[in-house]
Amino acid sequence: MGMLHAPQCVWAQTCFLIIKAAGLGTSLAKRNDHGAAAYFTVIVYLAGTFLGRRQSDLEALKAGRTDHRSCFHTFNLLPRGMIVNQLSEQKPFTTADGSTIRSILDATNAPVEKQSLAEASLPEGGETQRHYHKQSEEIYFILEGRGRMEIDGDIREVGPSDAILIPRNAWHQIKAVTDISFLCCCAPVYSHEDTYFESTDGV
């Protein structure tokens, strides 16, 4: 199948749903089916409900709400084509732990269900705020630069091509010895609400 970016997939399937609904309603009307009007009304209502929910779904995904089951999943409207997201097209933002993030594939830009992938970066001398996740297991993969990685008190220097496993509930922090960039894979999908800090955890 052809390759589509996530937003294109969603809009394509939304349009398909509306066109299909209109086609069914018109077909019944031509046959003078007495239930055509009621049937068509129901279809239009469902299509409208879908479109109305779409915005709230996207807002929930952007907020990192992993408990929100979107209409894309409910109506089995997940894209069927290959999804390819280009890193350079993703806008950077500062995440809860203080690192600069570009989401490559997560709930804000793709219909992911079980995992997320992002690029993180820190300037020389920078560091993330020490934290842990109750739900997400993480893997860091160092792309460039060197850093000092701490997991539950164990400290090691890390560099290009090093992969670091961060278990659930493990306190962790990375400090940049030089400018550093790394990939961060989370399973389940990363959520701000699943990020706990010493200052807010009573430690």
Residue spans of beta strands (DSSP E) within the chain: 3-4, 82-83, 93-94, 100-105, 116-122, 131-133, 137-144, 147-151, 154-158, 163-166, 172-176, 180-187, 195-197
Q: Two tokens at 34?
A: 């007495």
CB 115 within 8 A of CB 106: no
pLDDT at 129 over 90: yes
Kindly report, residue by residue over 145-181, the tens digit of the pLDDT.
Answer: 999 999 999 999 999 999 999 999 999 999 999 999 9
Q: What is the pLDDT confidence band of residue 59, given thresholds at 50, 70 and 90?
A: low
* Angle, in degrees to the nearest 10, between helices 6-30 and 36-62: 170
Kindly report, residue by residue over 175-197, the tens digit of the pLDDT.
Answer: 999 999 999 999 999 888 999 99
Q: Please state the domain extents for the chain.
A: 3-74, 87-197
Helix (H) or strand (E) holding 195: strand 195-197
CB 167 within 8 A of CB 198: no
The predicted structure's pLDDT at residue 111: 87
Kindly report, residue by residue over 11-39, the tens digit of the pLDDT.
Answer: 555 555 555 656 665 665 566 655 655 55
CB 70 within 8 A of CB 79: no
pLDDT at 120 over 50: yes
CA dihedral for 56, 57, 60, 66, sign (positive or negative): positive
d(CA 195, CA 116): 15
Kindly report, residue by residue over 103-118, the tens digit of the pLDDT.
Answer: 999 988 888 889 999 9
Domain 87-197 has CATH 2.40.10.480: no
Kindly report the average pLDDT of the chain as a whole number: 77
pLDDT at 85 over 80: yes
The predicted structure's pLDDT at residue 162: 98
The predicted structure's pLDDT at residue 132: 96
pLDDT at 64 over 50: no
Q: What is the pLDDT confidence band of residue 97, given thresholds at 50, 70 and 90?
A: confident
Global model pTM greater than 0.85? no
Residue spans of beta strands (DSSP E) within 112-178: 116-122, 131-133, 137-144, 147-151, 154-158, 163-166, 172-176
CA dihedral for 158, 159, 165, 170, sign (positive or negative): positive
Q: What is the pLDDT confidence band of residue 2, given thresholds at 50, 70 and 90?
A: very low
The predicted structure's pLDDT at residue 41: 59
Residue type for 95, please? T
